[in-house]
Amino acid sequence: MQLVLRHGVAKALIMGVLGAVAAYVTLALASTLVQEVWLGGVSYQRSESSVLILAAVFTPLCAFAGGLVGALIAGRARWLATAILCGFIAVRRRISTARSGSMGLCGSRRVPQQP
């Protein structure tokens, strides 16, 4: 009985991790395709309004596609894959904002305090 239980847990962990990796790869490739190739690079300061609107429509669809791929691969461990993916994205976002110095909401730069 314990062997069956351990096998089930191990399989769920493996499928959850594989689902999260597949979801992230799909999300990264699809959003890069949309933002860099189709729209020619998206800059919130320099892009036209139409480019920003298209990016706002298609980038969440890329995230949806990534989540769908991850859920299909993870199977019954789809919630584990979701939790792994969310944790990875949160940590990655925190590291990238710490490196760039933008710790405010929506990537806005902090204004230094005047003495």
11-39 burial by CB neighbour count: b if 16+ within 10 A, else e? Answer: ebeebbbbbbbbbbebbeebbeebbeeeb
pTM as predicted:
0.74
Is a pLDDT exceeding 60 seen at residue 108? Answer: no
Encode pLDDT of 19-33 as tens digits.
Answer: 999 999 999 999 999
State what percent of residues in the chain have pLDDT above 90.
Answer: 53
In the chain, domain spans: 2-107
